[in-house]
Structure 1
């Protein structure tokens, strides 16, 4: 049966490691898959997800990768199988599923981790708990994990995997170059099944004969590359360790090689890069026989489905070398990889370079088989990775995750993924005139030190863009445009706009500081979160909106999340129906704070209590979400317990803006209890006794909620909060935009 499923979707019979992965996931087990490049690791998890979603797997899959190019390539591949799944890419330049609401989201790891802590990179922080709920409840695949920073991105992935384990939701961790001891330790710690591919079962690998050569006493030069390329008279890929080395080599060869060599690295804009990738795939693709020379960097180590006859590489850590070698004779046949020496170990650690040099010298002139690759990886990386497998290795990542969840700063969340620092820059003469559209300006990334130095020397007019620093109301996102006065006001991961008198951008040159240019134009995101309150909203009573919210949940959310709610209930542990009763109560009472004299007067209610009336963009209403939570907190804790009650409390408080905490003075309307009980008893069988709330019916002065968000360390409360928040906010949005019907 498994063979038939694979053949139906991919058109090919599965390899043994793909069958084992399918069978493990079908049993509800998690998987750690180690397989060589070109062995169908992605299909090993995609096919089971297509067939098992809603049964032994959640209905949504989040596939995390280290690079945007990989995301683009895999998203295209998954779509090419023609399944009924909604497959979307999610990264900084293709934010196609900011709410993580597609069936299959292929994303960069930073998008996933920052979203989990309610500080997403591609969405206003006020909406952060919507994607957080998806991350807390999906089938996760972490691929190419050897490329994740060991003490940051890798550890953040393991923290998330461990939380999935605790909810009995399967996950998959995959790589071609992880040490055996590390895999064994992870398997035991995470309760995951370890699966190792066998080379002889993969036809392309079995027929592949790649010989490892070394020339470590010599450094790469243009003359040497030219001679090697001409001698082989085929397709050659040269991999340098830095962008600067690649550019220098390209400039030295571009007029000496026919056809002209191609250069690709990490510093291209998306359209230019996409055009280059199409050209590279044509010349180095499966069907190509043309002579060609590609000069590149680490960007081709993972994800680019290309092959060459000769691969020339600077010395790099063993896992990087093996990934590079994966672009040689990728579909079988003969190939050769030649490793040259280097004068400087950067950007890699000297110890790893030294160990790799030893194993390359030891195995020179050998056929580079999968078994030899694993031996080399174990010899170089085993001792180092033994420390990374220990739970305490995640302390630094956990610190950043906790801090980011509390502060709501994407920059802090990003530190849990990588150490690399950057700032985003755009060009405009008066960004204040753009209002919220300033967030749509196209951006380039540079090192913050570069911008600081330019600010000191060039004295440009520069603005810092801040979003939702101080949430004052429930409906209107806040964007601040702040003039930068001092270099110390320039911080990593920030967004800055330079006056066009001091900077230019051209598709060929890119961003040039110190050269007069033209303002950039805002580009509306193709798939962003639209503000559902920016347009006219029909007149709607409070009771009708509450019922519509529950109806939207029953119709649109619950059918797809039944698997997750079952696992969540078992984890808490409570009966599933008791969990669903909680969710329905939260949905019905999320707008209790609108049943105040102040709110109803402001919206112009006469007679019936209102939830919406007219264009809210023109009315500044007092906060109501925090009032709802403030009134219900003690009741929720008493009715359930503190773990569950706090999660529901924060979900209600944050159903318009994460970390909202200010509670205005208020007076509940006289008939508030009568209004809510009329629908509570109908939909949940629960009735609130007004006497329990007497002390909370009036708040004479403004106050503040004691905490801004559940502590990230309190795993059960945090995950339940994220899942409840997502259900509430998506249901509320559907109800508000009249996309549901009361059944």
Structure 2
């Protein structure tokens, strides 16, 4: 018998999931949350649309946790939870992992936000990440890794459960389109949940068709609406939230007069937030009777222009003051950095007008909890003063667009949407879910459908996705994820810096809107020279190359033409005489005394390359055992789905083991074995007849014998295995389309040390050495004959050609590279298995 006939849950499953939910959160789940669990656990994907504060985070996380505890092999064993903002990722990671640690419910979790990367290869069970990190890894230009490792992490998304929170905050033409393109590419090889509170119903329907998902809407669960704390009308009131539209701009006096216990002010621009903060803390608060008990230390300013330590401290403080039933009086002045995902609440909120989706997110920080009543004051934006406008005489289309943007008083938002939202809100006196959805549909539908038409016409960036895979270049970031319009700024004392040996990445930085910085620079440089600098090196990239991060050779070069900054993406260094910083208000224009704090950064001494001897057979068996232990158990879902994805039945396990056995086929080359054998003999640890995979070697002590043996000039080996697989693929792959799959496997072998390998060297393998590969493949029942001699050549024509081939390659090369690395570092451990 079904307890919830309206959405088809069986009583057994409902009770099991419901009990599990209670055991984790301490609360009974809402029916919509059970619906989400039922769909996901039965093989569907979900688009979840519920208001802010309605429990959507746990609605998406609990099905994964339940599947893990129940041992469900038809559900992914890894969850990657992506958010559009670093602040949100930090907050939700902290909230969820706190509960998981208390309940001891699952293994390791990690966070990837750029500042944190304690699991650089996405190996933990639960990963919280910014959308930038998630997409850049899938697109093969991982922001936190070098190009050499560009293909390692894309395969982490294959076979994973992907959650996209606050989906409406993604850039429609960039990160949103790319995310949709990624999901269409992965198809059944992932399970996903997209969550949003403020997309129009028509857009949701378009998205549903595009990604083949089921929509779960709060509108279908009236029984939940009656009990969800963030929606429930408190006693003594006829509404949860009142809306008061003011035909004026924000000011400190008006805000303070309305203060009760908890007040939040959200401004569109950092400069306005800083001014309000300064005005409020400088006032004599004793003149306001309603402010008795308000300590100035409980007046907090939070925006994007703080250094890490101050920002983290402020986030903790506002959670303490606004994130619980704390009775202390408090005021928060902020920007959109807190408008989504932050579990905080107030009784009075003052907001500058923004588009309706942004407005509703801001309103979600008011009267968020049970029994609370809130008032929302909405203000117009002050006209930009002439001195704040950016004047650029240009014929460049991009520069003209940015000029209009910065001179838009509603920056960073679309003026027409702000004006329409302001007018529509004038007709509203209360706010609930129905009014909110009606406003969204009236204001956003046309714009969202127009955006969707454009991104669909661009096939959801899928050609750019493949271009990213092919090039692995980080300059694809601005075409697929985010339009880079910011400059990272560090404050330095120029008089104390050694310009010939400058280390740029040791300083903490603050991101500034590029064109605002250009406007300031134009004013600054009228009276000052040599106060704005770039760290110049021999690299030509807008991104850090993590392979050469610690190389010296940087020098400070002054920038005295403000328009040279328009093409800058590196960190800009400014003298402390032009920028001031305080922990209260953050970074501002004006002479100061503070410099940027240093990162927890040390110049790493170059790691010593060191290997221990293992034979060809030992090395490959260790890799296979590593795969069996570390990867295969977590790939049960992927293996179940692969045949459907590829279109026919393949013995994927055998194929992976054959790839492993052939990945070092080039090491059987006589020109490779001979110098390695000579080196090992010189080391005094060689047994006659051994076919080596690695020799005992320490680059600090063995350089001379490396030179003497000829090992320093041994030929590259990766390409030979790729060539051998291509030549014998028909015998290994039981499929009429073996050539297509061979592209994926051979490319994984070819690029198992780096993405730029495209060729194979001459090789000749003796019969004695060839018997090693025969024995290995015989143990996994693979019967094939491989070329023992070939002239070197290029393998470009055997690269993956379509999405299916690329995705299979990502899965295979991830397994090969990580298992190769682990088995090389600790082959004894894996040989014992």
Shift of 1:131: 1.3
Deviations for 1:407-442, whole angstroms, at most 9, x for unmatched residues?
2222423541222333556788589798xxx87775
Number of the residue aligned with 2:241: 211
Shift of 1:124: 1.8
CA distance in 2, matches of 1:71, 1:458: 35
Contact 1:646 1:717 in 2 (8 A): yes
Contact 1:430 1:499 in 2 (8 A): no
2:610 to 519, 522, 536: 536
1:688 to 758, 781, 784: 784
Moved more, 439-448 or 311-320: 439-448
CA distance in 2, matches of 1:385, 1:490: 33
1:190 to 185, 190, 211: 211
Number of the residue aligned with 1:545: 619
CA distance in 2, matches of 1:10, 1:176: 22
Q: Quick check: which has more Rg, 1 or 2?
A: 2
Moved more, 424-433 or 199-208: 424-433
Shift of 1:553: 0.6
Moved more, 217-226 or 110-119: 217-226
SS state at 1:207 partner? coil
**Structure 2 counterparts to residues 168-187 of structure 1, below 5 A:** 169-187=190-208
Deviations for 1:288-338, whole angstroms, at most 9, x for unmatched residues?
122221111001111221111110111110011111111111103211001
Number of the residue aligned with 1:50: 65
Distance 1:503 1:628, change over 3 A: farther
TM-score (norm 2): 0.78
Shift of 1:351: 1.9
CA distance in 1, matches of 2:94, 2:203: 32
Number of the residue aligned with 1:612: 694
CA distance in 2, matches of 1:490, 1:662: 40
**Runs (5+) with no aligned partner, structure 1:** 470-474
Shift of 1:80: 2.2
Contact 1:71 1:108 in 2 (8 A): yes
Contact 1:113 1:413 in 2 (8 A): no
1:351 to 407, 416, 420: 416
Distance 1:80 1:522, change over 3 A: closer
CA distance in 2, matches of 1:670, 1:662: 24
**Structure 2 counterparts to residues 564-603 of structure 1, below 5 A:** 564-576=638-650, 578-603=651-676
**Structure 2 counterparts to residues 97-496 of structure 1, below 5 A:** 97-164=119-186, 166-167=187-188, 169-197=190-218, 198=221, 199-207=225-233, 209-229=239-259, 233-256=260-283, 257=285, 258-260=294-296, 261-332=299-370, 333-342=372-381, 343=383, 344-363=409-428, 365-366=429-430, 368-390=431-453, 392-395=456-459, 397-424=461-488, 429=498, 442-446=508-512, 450=517, 458=531, 460=533, 462-464=535-537, 466=539, 494-495=569-570
Contact 1:155 1:393 in 2 (8 A): no
Number of the residue aligned with 1:27: 42
1:562 to 636, 642, 657: 636
The yes-or-no answer on 1:634 pairing with 2:727 is: yes
Number of the residue aligned with 1:644: 741
SS state at 1:56 partner? coil
1:722 to 802, 806, 810: 810
Number of the residue aligned with 2:830: 740
**Runs (5+) with no aligned partner, structure 2:** 1-14, 286-293, 384-408, 682-688, 707-711
Calculate the aligned-residue CA RMSD, in Å.
3.6
SS state at 1:89 partner? strand
Deviations for 1:354-385, whole angstroms, at most 9, x for unmatched residues?
2212320121x22x111111111111111222
The yes-or-no answer on 1:623 pairing with 2:716 is: yes
CA distance in 2, matches of 1:491, 1:52: 50
CA distance in 1, matches of 2:669, 2:549: 25
Contact 1:431 1:497 in 2 (8 A): no
Distance 1:285 1:458, change over 3 A: closer
CA distance in 2, matches of 1:467, 1:35: 46
CA distance in 2, matches of 1:14, 1:214: 34
SS state at 1:732 partner? helix
Deviations for 1:560-610, whole angstroms, at most 9, x for unmatched residues?
11211221232113325x221111111111111222233334432554222
Distance 1:519 1:65, change over 3 A: closer
CA distance in 1, matches of 2:741, 2:776: 22
SS state at 2:349 partner? strand
Distance 1:340 1:496, change over 3 A: closer
Distance 1:119 1:534, change over 3 A: farther
Moved more, 718-727 or 594-603: 594-603
Shift of 1:723: 0.5
Contact 1:262 1:295 in 2 (8 A): yes
SS state at 2:485 partner? coil
Distance 1:490 1:167, change over 3 A: farther
TM-score (norm 1): 0.87
The yes-or-no answer on 1:705 pairing with 2:801 is: no
Distance 1:459 1:497, change over 3 A: closer
Count of matched residue pairs: 716
SS state at 1:218 partner? coil
